[in-house]
Amino acid sequence: MNTTSHLPLSIQVTKKIEDDIILGRLMPGTKLDEQELCDRYNVSRTPIREALKLLAADGLVEIRPRRGAIVPTIQPIVLCEMFEVMAELEGMCGRLAARRINFDEKNELIALHKSCEKFLFNNDSEGYYEENKNFHFAIYHASHNSFLIEQASSLHKRLHPYRRLQLRVHNRMNHSYSEHEALLNAIIDGEELLAEKLLKEHVVIQGEKFTDLISSLNTLISS
C-alpha cells in the first residue's frame, strides 16, 4: 500500500518521475520533453514544470538553458561514495544529538518513531519514508550544529529518491524500524559513540539495500 493521492499533484508526478529515472525507464541522457511527460503521466504542463524544478534541485534532472531538461548520468560508484559521506555526516549528527538533545527534542523523536510504526503496520512505504525522513532531520537538528545540519540536510536531499525507493526491498521497513528503535534509545540515553555507530551502520545498510533493489528490478512491482 503506497498512498500518494493526498499529496499535491506536482509531488505525485515528482515521485513517479523519480521512480522512472531510478528504475531505468527514463535512461541517463534522455531529454525530458514536457508534452511527452504530460502524455505519460496524464497531467497538464504546470505540475510537470514544477516537478522538473524539484527534481533539478535534488540533482536527478539537469535543466539546461535553451535545451530543456535531461536525465543526467549518475555512476554507481558516485552513488556509493555519496552514501559513504552521508553515513559519516549522520554518524556525527547522532553523536552530537546524544550529547545535546533537549527534552522537547526527545519527545519529538519518540513521537516520530511511533508515527513510523503506523505506516509500517499498514505496509505504506511512501508514508513510512516521509516520517522516516522527519526522524532523521530531527536528529540533525538535535545536534545543534548549524553547519552540520546544513550539510547533512543538503546531501540527504540529494539522496532522498534512492533512500525512499530502497524501502521497497523485501522486509526493509521492518529492519529500518528496528534500527531506529536502537538508535532512539542510544540518543535518549546519551550513548554518544553507540548512537554514532548505529546511525553510520543504518545509512550504509541503505546503500547496500539499494544495490539489492537494483539487482531485483525485474521482480519489483512498482506503484
- pLDDT at position 29: 85
2 found inside a domain:
no
Q: pLDDT tens digits, residue range 179-189?
A: 999 999 999 99
The parent domain of residue 122 ranges over 76-219
Q: Are residues 56 and 84 in the same domain?
A: no
Q: pLDDT tens digits, residue range 89-109?
A: 999 999 999 999 999 999 999
Q: How far is CA 72 from the centre of its chain?
A: 19
Dihedrals phi, psi of 93, to nearest 5 degrees: -60, -45
Q: pLDDT tens digits, residue range 1-14?
A: 445 667 899 999 99
Give the C-alpha separation, 208 to 60, whole Å: 20
Q: Are residues 174 and 110 in the same domain?
A: yes
DSSP 143: T
110 found inside a domain:
yes
C-alpha torsion 150→206→121→8, nearest 10:
50
Given 20, 46, 70, which residue is the final one in a domain?
Answer: 70
The Cβ of residue 87 has, within 10 Å, a number of other Cβ atoms equal to 19
Q: Are residues 82 and 59 in the same domain?
A: no
1 found inside a domain:
no
3 found inside a domain:
no
Domain of 18, CATH number, reads 1.10.10.10
Read off the pLDDT band of 214 (50, 70, 90): low
Q: Dump strand ranges (E) for 9-130.
A: 31-32, 62-64, 68-70
Which pTM was predicted?
Answer: 0.78
Q: Is the pLDDT of residue 45 over 60?
A: yes
- How high is the mean pLDDT of the chain? 88
- pLDDT at position 220: 45
Domain of 182, CATH number, reads 1.20.120.530
